[in-house]
Structure 1
């Protein structure tokens, strides 16, 4: 934590959008949460293993990803009754895994994040993870006040599922609905965020899969930085 006070951004300040997983956080934060939710009970583990025959391929493909993710969340949260209960469970997960999740925050990324805030930019996190999860993790480094746009969850069939996945084109729609339209700078690792990167005046690819670097060079402007901020298994040039 620190007691640094950031300037309040003006309404016309540049909008800077950060993805969360593999950008600020080394890994899939939502996936780590769901694994914990499922591992709490042997029956949930057995159900997830059996359902993976169907859910696994669904998660792998963009058109069916939301349904696949929702299936795993449903298994992990059966018995919960609403978003508040789910958010409380997220806070419990983060509190009991604080060293692990804090250790996954990327120092280079956090410094870039901090510099944008010090400059008075409007900084927003847009993530496929639940917003409460990103906020709880960012609280370790005193950034919990940053707006987070993330996957919406709600009660379904005795559990909690993703009702709106903040992913690909839907991420852009959710940003625009909240008044975040003209993106000055966007940081992301994922080709699923191509709509966001293309919408930004200055796209920055961070920690991409090595096999996707050529793709990003082909579809984004020639001067687009492709950087590695500390994800050892990922591509990109070292530095900020």
Structure 2
């Protein structure tokens, strides 16, 4: 397969969310659940703290705090981002069959189509960027820029120094020069700042209860599609 053309500075900018957009599921949750399950003490701590952390995760305004609690439990004992990235690479290698199966074929074809067209393609995700990079490497897209949550040491574990989520995702994109967005693809209402910033937003694999809301707040005619997530809504593929 020939390499895609190198996009010019004036090429259209296309931004993809990762989880539930290119990947069927929440890649970060899968990683952290694996880290917790492989250690009995971490598993016990997660079970004991779930009555507190679970409700925080369920609500958008407090989701970051709840997720941070589980991340801390999962990574306690790791010494900084470098060791954490090595753990990510080991996780992806050990679960490569499952990870490959979760990459959505139609989403990858749309993704590759933009690259073949010479568009500037960027992935913006709330997951650790090394995780998205390691997964995309399976399908020869490891050279695509990934903007994700920045990780650093925290109270004996690691945590998000900066969470690439909601308005913060747009701030991080703009700081890196990715502000003039032609097309954005995402499943989540948390990405409304990204979708609204794009000249052509595309909703993919949304939760069924969010479809009407997307239709209210995004421009008329915004596509709402399903790219292969069986438990999600959106117009099915032809």
TM-score normalised by length of structure 1: 0.97
Pick from 171, 174, 177: which aligns with 2:175? Answer: 177
- Distance in 2, matches of 1:145 and 1:239, equals 28
Name the residue aligned to 1:233.
231
- Post-superposition shift, 1:164? 1.2
Aligned residue for 1:112? 110
Name the CA distance, whole Å, in 2 between partners of 1:57 and 1:129: 20
RMSD: 1.0
Give the secondary-structure state (helix, strand or coil) at the position aligned to 2:152.
strand
SS at match of 1:102: helix
- Whether the 8 Å contact between 1:69 and 1:162 is mirrored in structure 2 is no
Shift of 1:153: 1.0
How big is the shift at 1:239? 2.5
Shift of 1:60: 1.7
CA distance in 2, matches of 1:109, 1:19: 11
Other-structure match for 1:89: 87
Q: Could you list the runs of 4 or more consecutive aligned residues of structure 1 that deviate by over 4 angstroms after TM superposition?
A: none
Q: Structure 1: which 5+ runs fail to align?
A: none
Aligned residue number for residue 32 of structure 2: 34
CA contact (8 A) 1:66 1:162 kept: no
Tell whether the 8 Å contact from 1:186 to 1:197 is kept in structure 2 after alignment: yes
1:212-227 matches, cutoff 5 A: 212-227=210-225
CA distance in 1, matches of 2:36, 2:159: 14
Counterparts of 1:113-128 in structure 2, within 5 Å, are: 113-128=111-126
Q: Answer with 178-187 or 56-65: which moved more.
A: 56-65
Deviation, 1:69, is 1.3
Measure, in 2, the Cα distance between the counterparts of 1:66 and 1:48: 16
Structure 1 residue 35: Cα displacement: 0.1
CA shift, 1:163, in A, is: 1.6
Q: Distance in 1 between matches of 2:115 and 2:128?
A: 22
Segments of 5+ residues of structure 2 without an aligned counterpart are none
| Corresponding residue SS for 2:182 | strand
Q: How far does the alpha carbon of each residue in 1:75-127 deviate from its partner, in whole angstroms, 9 at most, with x for none?
A: 11111111000000000000000000110000000000000000100000000
**Matched residue SS, 1:174:** helix
Aligned residues: 238
Query: Retained in 2: the 8 A contact 1:66–1:164?
Result: no
Alignment partner, residue 43 of structure 2 = 45
1:198 maps to which residue?
196
Q: TM-score w.r.t. structure 2 length?
A: 0.98
